Structure 1
Amino acid sequence: MLALSETLTRIEARIAEARLDRGELLDVTDLSRRTALRESEVEALLSGAAPVDEPVDDRVRSRVRALHEAYLARTGMRATDVCKEVAVRLGISPEWARQLLLGKKMPNVRDLTELARFFGVEHGTMFFTDPAATVLNRELDRVLGELEGAREDRGPLLQLATRHGVVTLALRAGHHLTPRKQEALAVMLEGLLSGDGEDEGVEAR
């Protein structure tokens, strides 16, 4: 994997080349949610600032708390119910689970491994223990892969056009879609162009 600075340089080059929306691709709030890093950390790292070297215990507790808050927001569950579920999963008391999820207590390796599984994060305990720059770089490497993959295969929209014999796909002038938006649009158009025969008179041109 590239260093964070090089990953950012290549992403910036792809953004400029394809005239993409930087604010959408490098959205601080979204990256914070996906990495469990504080928005201030993400913003500083994106700006090229030197990462702050914080103790591992602080990283772990902060990221567990962030994942817990995101889980509550995503599922709509009550905090007490999540605590009970985690307590059963880890074989601990609901009160100890609450302390862990609030970032007030430091989980041991076994509990941290189970928390990684519970929250469905990749890379296991490293998600919690790796330095902020490493965690962000992993996520940006995924973004870069999508961008460079889109350039190599010329994107899902062009693939769809080729399959269905579409001659022209015209977007509003100056409007450029990110790879994820192209994929979503391609899925929608695929459904329309591959209908079950209800609109046999409609042809892609």
Structure 2
Amino acid sequence: MSSLPETLQRLDALIEDQQLSRAELLDPRRPAGKAALPENTVRTLLAGGTPPQEEVDERVCARGRTLADAHLARTGGRKSELVAAVHRRCGISEARARQIIDGKKVPSAELLHDLVKFFDLRDAREAFFTDEAPGALNRALLPTLDKYEHPEQDHVQALLKKYGVVATDMRHHGSPTAEQLETLLAGVIKSVMPPQEDNGR
């Protein structure tokens, strides 16, 4: 996995090459939400600065609280409901579940594993809670980097371009209508399909 400086360098290159809006693509609010980081910390890192140091326990508690707050905001649920759900799913007392959600108790390694499953953190795993801010932000930015470095292609247009259709006929006649494209594809499909037997004979 690339480092944060490398990821930002590649994103800046994409922004320039594809004429994207840096303010929109690197809006601090989005990666801050994905990484459970304070927006000010994200702004500092995006600007190439160094955020204040924090102890691992502080980091774990803060991200647990931020994650819980984001979950409540997204689902519209009540904190008491989230406490009860964590209590049931993670096998801990409601009092301890509330402390975790409020960021007042450091979860054990086993509980962190359970919280990863509960909040569906997938590939982030326990590192979501323990990574230092640069690593957490980098992980949050990688999907954006991948999206713009490997954009999904229109496979039909790619096929037409491969065989020179876009570069020749359509360049002179404009983009095909849906009916024209359907007719063209139907002809291609018929040309490669074996003839059907007449079962009535």
- TM-score normalized by structure 1? 0.75
Distance 1:92 1:139 in 2: 29
Give the secondary structure class of the aligned counterpart of 1:105: coil
1:126, CA displacement in angstroms? 1.0
The offset of 1:163, in angstroms, is 5.5
Aligned to 2:199: none
Write the distance in 2 (CA, Å) between the matches of 1:163 and 1:77.
48
**Aligned counterparts of 1:18 and 1:42: Cα–Cα separation in 2:** 24
Taking a change above 3 Å as real, the CA distance of residues 119 and 27 of structure 1, as seen in their structure-2 partners, is: same
Partner of 1:47: 47
Secondary structure of the corresponding residue to residue 2 of structure 1: coil
Return 5+ residue gaps in structure 2 as ranges.
Answer: 183-201
Q: What count of residue pairs does the alignment treat as equivalent?
A: 169
Counterpart of 1:112 in structure 2 is: 112
**Matched AA of 2:6:** E
TM-score normalised to structure 2 length: 0.76
Structure 1: gaps spanning 5 or more residues: 170-192, 194-201
One-letter amino acid of the structure 2 residue matched with residue 103 of structure 1: G
Whole-angstrom CA distance in 1 between matches of 2:66 and 2:10 = 29
> Equivalents in 1 of 2:124, 2:9: separation in Å?
25
- Aligned equivalents of 1:203, 1:66: Cα separation in 2: 53
Shift of 1:16: 0.8
Q: Percent identity?
A: 38
Query: Which of the pair has more CA radius of gyration?
Result: 2
Aligned to 2:145: 144
Deviations along 1:2-33, one digit per CA (max 9) or x if unpaired, are 22112111110110110012122111111111
* Separation in 1, partners of 2:65, 2:156: 42
* Alignment partner, residue 159 of structure 1: 155
Q: How does 1:168-179 map to 2 (within 5 A)?
A: none
What are the equivalent positions in structure 2 for 1:18-29 lying under 5 Å apart? 18-29=18-29
